[in-house]
Amino acid sequence: MKSSTVTAQFSCDCKTAWDIVTDNENFEWRSDLSKIEIIDKSWFDEYTRDGFVTHFRITAKEPYREYRFDMENQNMRGHWSGIFESCDGGTQITFTEEVQVRKRIMNLFVKGYLKRQQARYIADLRKAIAKL
């Protein structure tokens, strides 16, 4: 499995960051998605702007602290975790993605791909928080 972790600080409380990240009905702040389809309280599907779908199953959801899920699409499967911590009047988040690619050649590119995706997610989250 390939792994990538990103840590970032935000000038808001944990509840605010948590509410944005975990609210799948309000995903418009995400620049990479066209829609999220909620299957039930544990399952949802994300669709990129190109229509590529990834399936998610929530495995842990401790409000304002921890959010975890398994994910799978035609190229990979893996796990994502988000840890939320109060710090210096704001919030620190640590997001870790661990994936196993389905095609061996993709191992050459997956680490860079994960880093780019995480950077985009953090930038989008910063914009969403700034609009509040």
Nearest alpha carbon to residue 128 among 5, 21, 34:
21
What integer pLDDT is reported at residue 46 of this predicted model?
A: 98
Domains of the chain: 2-22+58-130 (3.30.530.20)
pLDDT of 119 reads: 98
Residue with tokens 């702007």: 49
**Element at 11 (helix H, strand E):** none
Residues 6+ apart with CB under 8 A from 29: 20, 124, 125, 127, 128, 131
- What is the tens place of the pLDDT at every residue in 8-31? 999 999 999 999 999 999 999 999
Query: Token digits for 2?
Result: 């390939």
- pLDDT 10s digits, 45-68: 999 999 999 999 999 999 999 999
| Buried-exposed string 84-95: b where 16+ CB fall within 10 A, e elsewhere | beeeeebbbbeb
pLDDT at residue 103 in the model: 94
